[in-house]
């Protein structure tokens, strides 16, 4: 269902790799809601992924940009303003990558060159992107900037590794830069903290399937899907949320306020009973 929420709005969407990407769903929904936008991703991702299918489907142009390069971002933003024919109303930062996670380095034994790279790509890129938008003065008044994050910024999820620290940094940038963007340009900046979602980045985390199940059972509304995240992001780009800024917005079916759910308690109790039964079975005297 579409509501024309973004009719006439212009945007830039970072991070659509393939049809599972959250950014891909945001692009599809933004198109349905009447927006025009430029798609961007790192040059290597453009070669590996299938973003040209998305560009064709949504009538968008693709401009490569490595989010760790100011030069690339300046080029992207200059070209986007030309292509879209004016200032930008919304920007999605949907970028994350940890080399330590990819290489299987434990949190307590990081390779700090990898740590720096992951931080540069996943967190500092948000500052860099906003700095270029701010200094070129290309955001429209009442525009909206969103980055995607995860609750490991607040609570311990061991296998999320150094991405937890990157997300904490990312969320802090949203508040700090959001202040200047709000005060000087009337632009809002927020992060959306999404449920675990089966995408390329998400599935890279060790034990992801088990964790997906755990989060789903813990959340009264169940895990939020990528499409549901896209729907929420669209409302944050629309004029219906003009005074929401400097927030970390949980989009997680209620997970972030839970302690324990009956569904998980039942699973734990069943698991304990099965363990007890197998212990008492193994203690039985062998039949003669
Ligand atoms: N999947 C989850 O469980 C989950 C949960 C909460 C938050 N998030 C966040 O959502 C965002 C999108 O991730 P996703 O799950 O859709 O996975 P994804 O793998 O589809 O997207 C990650 C994107 O980051 C891009 N990227 C990596 N390095 C880059 C660089 N140097 N320059 C520009 N782009 C670069 C990749 O090419 C890719 O398109 C990330 O910030 C992720 O941390 C994901």
pLDDT per position as a tens digit, 7-20: 999 999 999 999 99
> From ligand 1's centre to the CA of 200, what distance in Å?
8
Ligand 1 atom nearest to 17, measured from its CA? 39
Distances (CA, A) of 73 to 59, 131, 193: 22, 10, 24
pLDDT at 280: 77
Q: Burial of 11 by CB count in 10 Å (0-12 exposed, 13-18 middle, 19+ buried)?
A: buried
> From ligand 1's centre to the CA of 229, what distance in Å?
13
Closest residue by Cα to atom 19, ligand 1, is 201
The rounded Cα 247 to chain-centroid distance in angstroms is 15
Ligand 1 atom nearest to 201, measured from its CA? 19
Q: What is the mean pLDDT of the chain?
A: 95
Closest residue by Cα to atom 43, ligand 1, is 96
Ligand 1 pocket, 40 CB below 6 A?
no
> From ligand 1's centre to the CA of 17, what distance in Å?
8
pLDDT at 136: 98
Q: Phi and psi of 247, rounded to 5°?
A: -105, 150
Positions of the chain with pLDDT under 70: 282-288
pLDDT at 281: 75
Helix (H, G, I), strand (E, B) or coil at 165: helix
Ligand 1 atom nearest to 205, measured from its CA? 3
pLDDT at 284: 60
Ligand 1 atom nearest to 44, measured from its CA? 37
Distances (CA, A) of 65 to 16, 24, 154: 12, 17, 30
Specify the residue for token string 């659509």: 16
Closest residue by Cα to atom 1, ligand 1, is 202
> From ligand 1's centre to the CA of 270, what distance in Å?
36
pLDDT at 285: 58
pLDDT at 211: 87
Ligand 1 pocket, 60 CB below 6 A?
no
| Token digits of residue 103 | 């290489």
| Token digits of residue 26 | 């945001």
């Amino acid at each position: 269902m579409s509501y024309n929420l973004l009719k006439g709005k212009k945007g830039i969407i970072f991070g659509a790799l393939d049809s599972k990407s959250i950014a891909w769903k945001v692009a599809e929904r933004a198109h349905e809601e009447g927006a025009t936008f430029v798609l961007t991703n790192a040059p290597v991702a453009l070669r590996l992924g299938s973003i040209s299918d998305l560009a064709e489907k949504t009538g968008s142009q693709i401009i490569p940009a490595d989010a760790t390069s100011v030069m690339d971002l300046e080029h992207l933003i200059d070209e986007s303003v030309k292509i879209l024919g004016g200032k930008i109303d919304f920007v999605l930062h949907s970028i994350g990558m940890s080399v330590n996670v990819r290489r299987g380095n434990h949190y307590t034994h990081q390779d700090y060159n990898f740590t720096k790279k992951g931080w540069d790509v996943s967190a500092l890129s948000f500052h860099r992107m906003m700095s270029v938008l701010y200094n070129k003065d290309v955001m429209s008044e009442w525009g909206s900037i969103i980055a995607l994050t995860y609750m490991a910024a607040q609570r311990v999820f061991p296998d999320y590794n150094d991405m937890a620290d990157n997300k904490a940094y990312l969320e802090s940038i949203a508040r700090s830069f959001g202040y200047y963007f709000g005060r000087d340009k009337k632009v809002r900046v927020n992060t959306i903290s999404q449920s675990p979602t089966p995408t390329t980045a998400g599935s890279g985390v060790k034990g992801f399937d088990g964790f997906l199940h755990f989060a789903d059972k813990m959340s009264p509304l169940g895990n939020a899907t990528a499409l549901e995240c896209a729907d929420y992001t669209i409302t944050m780009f629309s004029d219906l949320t003009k005074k929401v800024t400097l927030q970390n917005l949980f989009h997680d079916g209620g997970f972030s306020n839970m302690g324990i759910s009956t569904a998980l308690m039942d699973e734990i109790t069943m698991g304990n009973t099965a363990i007890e039964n197998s212990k008492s079975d193994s203690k039985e005297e062998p039949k003669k």
